[in-house]
A and B are shown apart, each in its own frame.
Chain A
Amino acid sequence: MSSTLRDVLPEKIDVDPDRVAEGLAQLVLSLVELLRQLLERQAIRRMEGGDLSDEEVERMGVALMRLEEKVGELAGQFGLTREQLNIGLKPLGKLW
């Protein structure tokens, strides 16, 4: 494994072969949650900038709200809490 790749790999992914599914789920869901939060920030910026109509704000808000619920639901199925989706990326720190 190259040192660059090793440097950015998360610190807390469980690589125990018996729990690889949970480790993978944690990694994937963490990335989904990060993207969801970025989308949310972007939506808020656009809302603050007056770029969105009331209807668009409502639609975007509902979509982000449902996405948040879905991520929580999937995390729960793997026994993960929201806090556990905030994994540590060595050079960057926590995701959020």
Chain B
Amino acid sequence: MKLLVHAIARRPCAEPPAGLRGSTLEWIAAGELGIWATPLPEGTAELDRDDALDHHRIVEALADREACLPVRFATRVPDATRAAVLIVGREAELSSALVRVAGRREIAVTLVWPEAAVIPGRGHRVQGGGPGTAYLAARQHEHAADDARRKTAEDLARRLETDLAVEQADVWHVMCPSDRIALSSSILARAGEDESLKARAIEIVSGYEGVRAVVSGPWPPYSFVGAR
């Protein structure tokens, strides 16, 4: 029997939601904190997309009841003792993260490159020289294009922070996480202000040129679970 870990919290809530695939959620106390997990019987099929969505449902329901730190989907441990290891030695860090995210949700802003701008350097071919020279020249072109894209993403990140007037500690950026995406940002909203922050973000990023913006949320504070 393995345990699929969902979230870390300070205390169990009175009426926890159902666990993965409708099973009962288990609370594993570990010192001053504890872990919510679903026991996975031997022979449980591989986790799939539906399970990922179910994990999200569980985390969201737990976050509605009590401040919690979501754990990355598919984190499995062999037993309760090993689950506690996730916490041991990190109590202070996790407790402070719990205080920080209590009652708060995050808004996700994703800026996508327009189709034509996707990897402008890819596929570049040079004339002359052998295959090795052509390879290096093509990579040189790609690196230059990647560097330019990263610089644009960094400028967009700074602009987003300024335009939204949010504290730096409440923003988490990932620059160019994939070929299609320029910037993936998570913004931690102040308690009760998630919807207004989302509306403001939609309005602001819709004016950004050269990228297409997708704003989603509010979500449980997935991006702010660790100490920064």
Contact = CB atoms under 8 A, between A and B. Distances in A.
Contacts of B76: 16
A89 B135 CA distance: 29
Interface in B135-192: 135-136, 139-140, 143, 174, 177-178
| Majority secondary structure of chain B interface residues (helix, strand, loop or mixed) | mixed
A94 B132 contact: no
A3 B140 contact: no
A44 B138 CA distance: 10
Contact of A54 (B72, B78, B133, B134): B133
Assign chain B's interface to a size class. 20 to 34
Contacts of A90: 226
Interface in B99-150: 129-136, 139-140, 143
Interface in A39-82: 40-41, 43-44, 47-48, 54, 57-65
A73 B89 CA distance: 40
Contact of A43 (B89, B130, B134, B136): B136
A90 B136 CA distance: 31
Interface residues of A, number: 26
Contacts of A63: 132
Contacts of B135: 61-62, 64-65
Nearest to B88: A1
Contacts of B133: 54, 57-58, 61
Given A3-B90, A41-B143, A57-B129, A47 B174 contact: no
Contacts of B72: 11
Contacts, number: 56
A58 B130 contact: yes
Given A16-B76, A90-B226, A93-B174, A61 B134 contact: yes
B131 A61 contact: yes
Contacts of A61: 130-136
A64 B131 CA distance: 11
Interface string A17-35: 1000000000000000000
A36 to B, nearest CB: 11
28 contacts: A3-B89, A6-B89, A17-B78, A41-B143, A43-B136, A44-B143, A47-B136, A47-B140, A48-B140, A54-B129, A54-B133, A57-B129, A57-B132, A57-B136, A58-B129, A58-B130, A58-B132, A59-B132, A61-B131, A61-B133, A61-B135, A62-B130, A63-B132, A64-B136, A64-B139, A65-B131, A65-B132, A90-B226
Interface of A: 1, 3, 6, 11, 16-17, 40-41, 43-44, 47-48, 54, 57-65, 83, 90, 93-94
Given A64-B132, A90-B226, 12 more contacts: A1-B89, A6-B90, A17-B78, A44-B139, A44-B140, A47-B136, A59-B132, A60-B136, A61-B134, A61-B136, A62-B131, A64-B139
